[in-house]
Chain A
Amino acid sequence: MTNQLNILKTMKGATAAIMLSSVATGALAQDAIRVISHRQPALEYYTQQMVDALPAGRVTVELMPIDKQLELASITMSAESDAIDVLYLNDSSFRRFASNGWLEPIDDLWEKYRDEYDLDDFPQSVIDAVSYDGKIYAMPILTNTELFFYRKDLLEEAGIEPPQTMEDYMAAAAQLDSARMAGTIMSLKPVDAALNESHWYMNAIGDGWFDENWKPIFNNAAGVEAITKLKEMTEYAPRGFTAHANDESTINLQQGLAAMGLQWFTRAAAMDNTEQSRVVGQIEWVAPPGGGARTANDGFAISAYSSADRDEMFKMLAEAASKESMREGAQYAMPPRLSVLENAELAEQYRWYPAARKALENGKAFPAMPDFNDVGEIVTRHILRAVTGEAEVQEALDQAAAETEELLTSRGYYN
C-alpha cells in the first residue's frame, strides 16, 4: 500500500511539473513579439528595423520562403493560435487572410498615430491596397514590381536592342542561348514563382485570368497561345527551371549563367553586390516587354489572435515604415511613401528606379480575389503539366479552368 501511495504521489508530482513547465514556457513565449516574413533583401532590412524599433529581445523575427511562411501562418491562424503576432503578407494572400477574419483591423491605431508617423504620406492607392472591406489591415512596407533584367554587355556585343515586346524578348533569348549560358531565367517553381511568370505571359499575350464575373478565361485561344509561348521559351531556360524560384534565378543572373529575364525589383541591388555578383555594372533594366508583369503592394499585418500589445506592435511597424527607414530601404524596394518616392536623388543613386516607374505603369496586380492563391495552386500545377509535356496546353488549361470553377463555386463566387 505504501508503494502504491508512493507511485501515485510520484505521478501527481510529475504531472504538476509538466503542467508548470508548460505554463512557464507559454509565459516566456508571450514575452517577445513574434514576426514571420518571407525572406528577401528588402524584408530582411525592414524586419531588422522592427527589431531595432523596440528594446533588445522584444522582437523575434523568422524569415522563410513565401510558400512556407503562408503555410505556417494559415495553420496558426486557422487554429486561432496567438503563436504569431505580426506577419508579412503580399497583396493576394492579404485578401485571403483578411476575408477569413485572421487579421486585426488597425484603423483606430492608424488614426491615433497619423500625425506622429506622418501616415498621410502614403498615397490613397497604397492604403486601398492594404485595406479590405473598408478597413485597413496592414502597414504598407514596399511597392514591388517585376522588372526585365538583361546583360547590357552581351546585348550590345550581339547588336540587340533592349526588348520592348515579347517577340523581341523571345528572339534575344534564342540568340544568346548557349550550352554555358541560358538565354533567359525562368522561375517556374510552384506556386508563387510559377504564378508570377505565368501572370506576365497571360497578360502580355493572353487576355488575363478572369472575366468580370470571375469566370476563367485563361483557357481561351489567347491564353493557350500565352502558355504555348511560355513553353517554347523554356527551351532557353537553365536546367531545373521548374524548381527555380527568385533565389535560384537571382543566382543564375549574378553568376552569369543567364542573359536576361523577369525578376523582382527587390533583386536589382543584388546584381551590383560585389561580394555575390560576377556581373556588377553589367545588368540593366527595362519595364517587362509587353507589359502586364506583376505589381504588388506588400505590408505587415497584426494577427487577430495576437495577445501582444497592439499599440506596441503598431509603433514597431510604423517605425520600420518611417520616412528615415524607407529612405534607407529604397535600395532594396520601392518605398510606398510619397516623400521618398518623389526624391530625385533616388533615380541617380539606384540605376533601376526609372525602369521600375515604367514597370509600375504597365504592370498588373493579381486579380483582386481572396482565393487567388488557391486558384494559383491549381493553375500552376496544370501549366507545369503542359510545360513538361505531361499534357497538351489546351487540355491542361481546360482542366485548370474546370477545377478553378469548381473551387470558386464552392467558395460562393457564383451565388
Chain B
Amino acid sequence: MASWQRGLWLFFLPSFGLLAVVLLWPLGYAIFLSFFDYYLGSGERTFVGFANYIDLLTEARLWNSMWTTIIIAFGSVAVEFVVGFALALALYRLHSSAKIFSVLLFLPHIVTPVVAALFLKWMLASNWGFVDATLLTFNIEPPDWLGSPVWAKVSVILADAWVFTPLVMMVLYAALQGLDTTLIEAAQIDGASSWNTLRHVIVPALIPAIIFVISIRLMDVFRFFDLIYVLTGGGPGTATETITIYTYQLGFRMLEVGKASALGVITLIVVAMLLLTINRSLNKAYRGGDR
C-alpha cells in the first residue's frame, strides 16, 4: 500500500458519520425510549421494561392495523406488479414509440406522493370531485370513495398503484431489454404459444428483477404513510389505519413517545421478517425453476 493510500479511510468517515447520525442514532434512541413510559406533555420518563411491548401486543388495535397493513400492502403490490408487468411487455413489443410511451407512463411517479395524494383526494371528493362529477353526469351513482371502509381501502390501494406502477414497469422493462431474444425465437420455432413463451421463457428469465421489484415495493408499502395520511388519515374509523398510521397517532397525536417507539421497533422486526421470508420463497422458486 502506498503511503498516500493510508489516509483514504478518512473518506469513509463522512458517509459513516451521516449514517450514524440519521440512521443508527435514531434507531438506538427509539429502542431506548421503547422501554420507558414517556408522555411528551409531562416530559417525565419512567422505566417500564417491556411493558409497552406487552401492552401493544395484547391490544386489538395493533392486530387490526397489522391486518389492514397486510391487505393494503399485498393488494397494492399485486396490482402494481400485474399492471406494471403488462405495461412493460407492451412497451417491449413497441419499437419506435416505446420511449414516448415510457415517459408518459412514468409521469405519475415523478409527482411527489403527497402532491399525488392531494390531487387524488380532490379527484375523489364527493359530488364536486372529477370522478364523482363525471359519473353523476352519466347518472351513475358513485361509491363513497373515501367514506366507506371497503372503498377507502380500495381507493388507497389504487392510489398507491397509480403512483408506483410506473416504477415496477420501468424496472421490468429494463430487465426485458437484457432478455436473450434467441430463447424466445427458439420457443416460437418449437411452436410454443404466446402464453407458454411468457410463462416458461420470459418470466423465469426475469425472476431476479421480479424479486428485486417486489421486495422493494413490499418494503416501501409496509412503511406506507404519506398517501394514506392525506387521503383518509387512517379512517373512516380504523378502516385504513396501517401500522405506520397507528405509530403516528401514538407519537404525534397522543404524544405517547415510549409506546410509539415500541411500535416502531415491532414494525421493523415484522417487516424484516416478512421480507426475509418473501426473498427466500422467491429465491427458492427461482432456483427450483432453474433446475
Residues of A bordering B, CB below 8 Å? 1, 3-4, 7-8, 11, 71, 74-75, 78, 96, 99-100, 179, 188-191, 238-243, 248, 251-252, 255, 257, 370, 374, 377, 381-382, 384-391, 407, 410-411
Contacts and interface: CB of A to CB of B under 8 A. Distances in A.
Contacts of B239: 388, 390
A397 to B, nearest CB: 13
Nearest to A78: B40
Contact of A255 (B3, B11, B128, B236): B128
Given A239-B143, A411-B39, 20 more contacts: A1-B3, A3-B4, A7-B7, A8-B10, A78-B41, A78-B43, A179-B141, A238-B127, A239-B145, A240-B125, A242-B236, A243-B236, A248-B125, A252-B127, A374-B254, A381-B235, A381-B237, A384-B237, A390-B149, A390-B239
A2 B128 CA distance: 69
B253 A377 contact: yes
7 contacts: A78-B40, A96-B41, A238-B127, A243-B236, A384-B236, A388-B239, A390-B237
Given A189-B233, A387-B237, A240 B254 contact: no
Contacts of B39: 410-411
A74 B147 contact: no
Interface in B206-257: 232-239, 249, 252-255
A176 to B, nearest CB: 16
A239 B37 CA distance: 41
B28 interface: no
Contacts of B102: none
A243 B146 contact: yes
Contacts of A374: 253-255
Contact of A388 (B3, B126, B132, B236): B236
Interface residues of B, number: 40
Contact of A71 (B4, B11, B238, B252): B252
A319 B149 CA distance: 48
B42 interface: yes
A67 B172 CA distance: 41
A389 B232 CA distance: 17
B126 A240 contact: yes
Contacts of A1: 3-4
Q: Which of B11, B141, B238 is most buried by chain A, counting CB atoms within 10 A of its CB?
A: B238
Contacts of B127: 238-240, 252, 255, 257
Contact of B10 (A11, A75, A390): A11
Contact of A239 (B41, B43, B142, B254): B142
Given A71-B252, A78-B41, A239 B132 contact: yes
